[in-house]
Structure 1
C-alpha cells in the first residue's frame, strides 16, 4: 500500500488533479510516496489545493514467477551495489564533530523502524560501517518492498548538537549538524484543562532545505518515549533548529489532532514554545471481516478510514476477523479494505461509504463480507502494433473504493502488457492513471465488448462501465508512442564566467503552475555542471549558491544545453512584525509565506514568530511573487497581497495588526428536501477570518468559532453531487445551508 493522490478524490481537489497529472507527465525522478505525503501535508498547497491523505492500491504481479522476474527498484539496486557506508560528521562551519553516534535504521512493512547497528565518529568526525554488507542483507530481509518507499537511514546524535539523519548513499556522506533546540508543547483536554500523563509519539522530523527526506524514528529509542507532565506539558530536547516536527498522540481517550496542528516549526533558537494543542474525544469504529459464503473470519486484513481532507487511521483484523479503529476525529469517512497484497486479486469487498463519527462515539458492527466479484482484465499495447506496454497504470473507482474520497485501486501492466483488478459488481470509473516513458495518454475510447462511455462528471480520458456476471470483463488500451526525452545539460558560472561548484539548480514547470519545491534539485559538480534526464514538459531552471543566484529563471526543454549565470546579492527577503491593536506582541502568532510562480499560489508551513513578534523570510527568488499572511489564536487572519521584489531587496513590511476574533456562526446544513446533511464538510473563508473547515453532526448542525465581529464568512461545501455556497454574517446562530444537486 502506497500513498498517492488520485484525480477523482472530491470536487475540491480538481486543482490537485491538474497538479498530479502534470507531475506524472514530467520525466524527472519520480516523487517517492513518503515524499509526496510529506509535501501534501507540510506544504499544505495553500488555499488553491486542499491536501488529502489518499491511498493508491497497486496490484502485485499475478504469480511468483512474474514477481521474481520484476526488476529491483532503485533503492534495492543501490543497496546491493554499495561498496562502503562511510562519511564525516561536521558542524555548520565545517569543523569535525567527534563522538557522534550514528545508528543504522531500517523499516518494516508496517513502517516500524529498528536500529540495526551503531558506530561513533572519530576525532576527525569520520565514521565507517565495517559490517555494511550484512547490514544491507538484513535491511532487505526486514524491509522487503518497503525499502522503495522508506529506504534505510542513519540517525545521528552528538552532545551539544541537534540530532539529524541521512539517507544512505553510495558516495561518502557529509553530515552537518544544526544547533540544538528544546521543544515545549502544552496539551489541553476538552475542558481546557492540562492533559496530564499523555502519551505523545514523535512521528518525524524534516528540514526546510531538504523536503525530499524525512525521518521516522524507531519507537525503541528512549529519547522519543516521552509523556506530558502534570501540567500537560510535553518536552523534548536536542531537536535540530530550523526543522519541522510532527507529533502524534498515543492515547485512546483523544482523537489525533489534525495534521496542521500537530506539525510544529522549530525556531532558530535554543527553545521553541509551541501554541497549546486542544484535544477532543476520539471515536472508535469496530466490526468484523468474513468470507461471504462461509462466514469464516478473515485475519490479517488492513482497513483504512479516509475522509475528504483527513485520515481516520487504519487497523488490521485479528484471528477472529475483528478490527477496531481508535482515536478517530469527527467527520465523514469511507472505510475500505486493502485486499490486493493478501489475496492477489482473488477476493474483493464493498466499502462502507459516508460513515459519520462525532467526538467520543462508538460505531459498532461495521462488518465486511468478502466476495468474488468480477475480474477486470485487459492488455495495453503500442498504438498501431501488437507490442505490449509494460509499466502502464490503470486506475478504478467503484463500490470497493468510492470516488467520494481519494483511495483509488490501481494495477500496473506486466511485461506482456496485461493488468487485472478484482472489483464488486456495479458501476466502475476507469482511467489510465500513468503511462511509462516513451508513451503518451490515449485519446481513444478503450477497446471492450462492454458498454463503456466517457465520464461526464470527471476529466478527459475517464470512462464509466458497469460490470457483472461470472466471467472476466476485458478492457484494452492502445497508447501512442512519443519521442524519448533527451538529457538536459546545465553549466553554472559566476559573474566572470567561471564554473561554480556545489551550486544548487532547482526546477519548476515553465508555465508557473507548480513551484520548484515539488521537484528535484541538483548540485553542480567540480566543473559547475549538471546533467539530468530530459523532461516531457518545458521547465524553468534557477540556480543559487549562498547569496549569489540567477536573476531570473531559464526555460529548458528536452535536449537543451544552457548556461545559468549567478550574480552576487541577488536573493531577496521579506521581514514582518505582527502585533495587536495596541502594538503589543501576540503570543502564538504565526506567519505564512505563499509562493506565486504563476496563476496559483502555494502556501508554506506556519512559522512561529520570535519574542519581538518578528520573522524574516530569506533566500527568495527575485522573479517570483510572494504574499504573506498572519494569524494567532483568538485573532483574525490578515494577508498582504502579492509582492514583486527587486534583486537583492529586503522588503520590510509595515506592522501587521490583528483584530480580536471572538464572534461565532452556527446553523444547520440540510439537503433540498430539508433532511440533515450529517457529516457534511463546510468550508468558510473571507472577512479577515482564517480559512477553516467544520463538520456537521448527525443533525446537520455546525458551528464556527473565533470569527471577527461583524465580518462576512463565505461558506461552501460539496457532498457527492450536492453543492452549497452562501455568504453569512458572523454572530448568526440559526443559518440554514441548503445543499442542492447539480443542475
Structure 2
C-alpha cells in the first residue's frame, strides 16, 4: 500500500524532485523491512545476502515491490543483513493504515512546498559490493555499516569518522548589495585524505559543482567522510567578482548558506632589470590569495569572512593546474602584464615572477585599505606597481666523491630562503641537480638565511644545513657569485626485506631508515633519508660503516609499534616508536649480507570515554606517544567518543591523553591493552581552566602568542 501511495503522489507531482526522493526512501524502508522479515523467519543471513547479489536489477517500475529494484542501495542492504541483529518484526493492522495515511499526507504536502534540489546518485560497482559483503560475512561483530551510494540517514549514528556519508550544501551567492549573482560557479572540493603533512601538497578533488541560477541559488551533494568534511570548502568564481573560498561552518551545514562576493580589481605591473630595461617574457603566477579577518576575543577566526586559497608550488609550476586557478601571464616587450577578474576588493594576493637570469621573486599585492595581518613584515604593493628585479646570488660548483675526486651526477640541491620576521615559504624554494660531471648552478634572491638540503643518489649520505647570508658574502667577496665545491663521503648500501613476523609475507611501501649510533661524528654529509620497500618487501638504503640501526615505519596493516628506550637509537631524548628495529654493525669494507626485519601484529585497543557523570561522550580528542615513530604531540579527533589504537601489543601499557571539549573533562591515564580485545571504559575528570595574559616589557599586550602544553 505504501508503494501504491508513493506512485500516486509521483503521478500527480512528477515535477517535484522531493516526491521522487520520498518515494525512493519509502522503497528503501520497505526493502529493509522485507530483509528483516526474511532473516527473522530463520533464513541464513549469509545465504540471503548471496541471493541478492545474484539478482539483476529488474527493469521498469512496477507497482508491486521487487526483490531488487536498483544496485545503488544494495551495499547498505547487505551490510544491514549481515551485521544487524533484528528482533522478529510484527505489524498491526491499525499501524499499517496510520502509516499509509501519514506517509501520503507528508509526501504530498512537502512536495508542494519545496523547491527542487539537484542530486546525482552514484551506483557502486557490483564487484565492490561483493567485496563489502564478503568482509561483512567474515566480521559478524561489525556494528558500523559502510554506506555505498546511500544517503546520510542510512549511516548509523556514531559511526567512525572515516565512513562515507552524504552531505548537502545549498544556499545563495549574493553581491555587496545582497542581490543574487547568477552564473557563479560553486565548487565543493575536498582532499582524499589528510593524515600526513605531504597530503596537503596533493590538489583536492572537486566532489560537486553547480552554476547558480537567476536567483543566485545553488545546491551541492557529495559523499564525504567526517575527516574530509572538516577541511572541505567551497570555491566560488564569478565574472566581475574573482575567486574566493568559503569554509562551511559544520553546525550550519544543514541550513541555507548565503555567500557574499565583492567586486574584483585589476592588477597592472611593469618589470625591469636593475639597469632599467624592461623584461620581456617573464611569467607571473598567482600563488595564493587571502582575506584577513582579525580573531575575536577568544582567538577564533570567522572563516566565512576570512579565507585563504592557494596551490602547492609543484602544481603551480606544472602544466596541470586545477581548472578554476588563474593561468600565468607573460610580460610584453615593455615588461608589462595585466591580471583581471581574479582578486576580490578586500583580498590580498601573492604573485611569483619567474624571469630568465633572475631568481624567483615573490610580490604581495593589496589595495591600500585592504586588511592584512598587522604583524606581517611583508611589503604590500598597490595593484598598479613597478618591480625592479635584483641581481641574484649565482651559486655554482661541483659535487665530488671524497675518496676518488670524481664528479657525482644526479645530486639534488634544494635551497629555501628564510627572512627573519617572515619565515620560509615553499614557493621560494630553489632546486637544481648536478650534471654528469657533478656540476650544478642555481640562482637565489636575497634572504637572511638559506636552508640547504643536499640529496645525493643511493650510496652517499646527504647534507642538511643552514647558511647565513653573511657566510655567502664572505665566500663571494665583492660580487654575488659563489663557487662552492662539495666533497661527499661515500656510504654503504644496506639491503634486506621487511616481512610480517607471523606469516613471512612481504610488507610493501614501508619506510626504512638507517640511523647511526647517536653522537657519532660522521662529517658534513651525515643526513640519512628513508626509502620505501618494493612490492616484494625488499629495500636498499644508504648507511655507513660502524654501529647503527635500521628502523621501519610500516603502513597501517595491523603491526604494533615498539618502544625503543635505547638512547643509542634515538634522535631526541624521548623514546622512538618504530614498527621494526634491527641493530647492525657494518664493517669498514662495507660488505653486509641482506637482512630480514620482521614486524609483529597487534590487536585493536578501543577505549570508550565517559564524562564525569558516567555518560559516553560524543566527540573526543586524544593523543598518545606511539602515534608516530618520533614523538610529536598532536591530537586526533573521534566523533564517536571512542579512542582507538589500530594495532596494540597485548599486555602492554599505553599512556594516553583524552579530552572532551563538550564535557570540559579529560584525563592522562595508563591503559593496559587487554588480551581479549574488549572495550575499556575510562571516566574523564573535570578540567581546570588556566587564564593569563602575555605582555611585552612595560606592560604592552603581546597579541598572537601561541600556547603549548606538554604532558609526560
**Fold equivalence (TM over 0.5):** no
Larger Rg belongs to: 2
Higher fraction of strand: 1
TM-score, with structure 2 as normaliser: 0.42
TM-score, with structure 1 as normaliser: 0.40
Relative contact order, higher structure (CA 8 A, sep 6+): 1
Higher fraction of helix: 2
